[in-house]
Amino acid sequence: MEYLVEDIVRDVKVCLDENVDSTALALLGDADTLTLDDIIESKIADAARLVESGAAHHLLDRGEPFGDNIWWQQAPGYGMGMIQLPDDFLRLVTYRMSDWAMPVTEAITEEDPRYAMQSSRYGGVRGNPWRPVVAIVQHPTGLMLEFYTCQAGAGVVINAARYIPMPRISGGKIKVCEKLYRAIIYRTASLTALALKDGDAAAAMLATSNNLADITTE
């Protein structure tokens, strides 16, 4: 959902008024410092990215579509394919091929031990239509989605492919997941409090943001 930056700034200021020491806010009276509104606005996109990249999957929006072209692996019967991801890709929402028994909502990376298993010569080790695997991998052309695997044969197509884009402010607005709005407000307030040198308030609001986004921290 799209939100006005001025509305987000207003909600963050309410959050700061409730949590940040008034002495820290008073420091903004110095003519050499940025205004509070400027500081808040500079933190919004970073806060949204941090929250949306780590939030529980059920709190995400349906996302944006991707996946116009598939590059297929040529090895007979292997059925692995690759798709170029958009430049603003942040997080996978869902991916499913037409012969898969279920969609994939959590992608692995090339650092994951399971990634090496996808190149095994033993078919039972790799992902398959009944236990599919999706990997987000850095290629020379940028991020690619690799999927494992499909049955051999023509007619297999993409059933679903959606992602969360990198949040950016444009035209005084920013698009973020509706269910994560409050978490983003608290994360923005936390980053702002850090800029104001109020570490205790920043930590408290970070904890609230994580709770609202159902983010587990160690």
Using one digit for the tens of pLDDT, what is the confidence trace for 79-138? Answer: 889 999 999 999 999 999 999 999 999 999 999 999 999 988 777 888 999 999 999 999
Q: Does 138 share its domain with 80?
A: yes
Closest to 59 (Cα-Cα) out of 175, 178, 216, 163? 178
Q: Does 127 share its domain with 50?
A: no
Is there a domain that residue 127 lies in? Answer: yes
Structural domains in the chain (count): 2
Q: Does 116 share its domain with 138?
A: yes
Helices (H), the chain: 5-19, 22-26, 36-54, 113-117, 181-195, 199-212
Q: Does 159 share its domain with 73?
A: yes
Mean pLDDT along residues 29-41: 75
Q: Does 108 share its domain with 133?
A: yes
Q: Does 138 share its domain with 79?
A: yes
Q: What SS3 class is residue 78?
A: coil
pLDDT at 76 over 60: no
pLDDT score for 29: 53
Is there a domain that residue 119 lies in? Answer: yes
Q: Does 110 share its domain with 199?
A: no
Q: Does 11 share its domain with 73?
A: no
Q: What SS3 class is residue 136?
A: strand
Is there a domain that residue 171 lies in? Answer: no
| CB-based contacts of 11, cutoff 8 Å, min separation 6 | 185
Is there a domain that residue 217 lies in? Answer: no
Which pLDDT band, with edges at 50, 70 and 90, does 26 fall under? low
Is there a domain that residue 11 lies in? Answer: yes
Q: Does 161 share its domain with 79?
A: yes
Residue in this structure with the two tokens 């996302």, named with its chain if needed: 63
| pLDDT digit string, tens, across residues 162-217 | 999 999 999 999 999 999 999 999 999 999 999 988 899 999 999 999 999 999 87
Is there a domain that residue 183 lies in? Answer: yes
Which pLDDT band, with edges at 50, 70 and 90, does 50 fall under? very high
Which pLDDT band, with edges at 50, 70 and 90, does 78 fall under? low
| Cβ proximity of 147 and 80 under 8 Å | yes
Q: Does 70 share its domain with 153?
A: yes
pLDDT score for 121: 79
Q: Does 151 share its domain with 72?
A: yes
Is there a domain that residue 55 lies in? Answer: yes
pLDDT at 31 over 50: no
Q: Does 73 share its domain with 158?
A: yes
Which pLDDT band, with edges at 50, 70 and 90, does 73 fall under? confident
The domain of 150 spans: 64-165
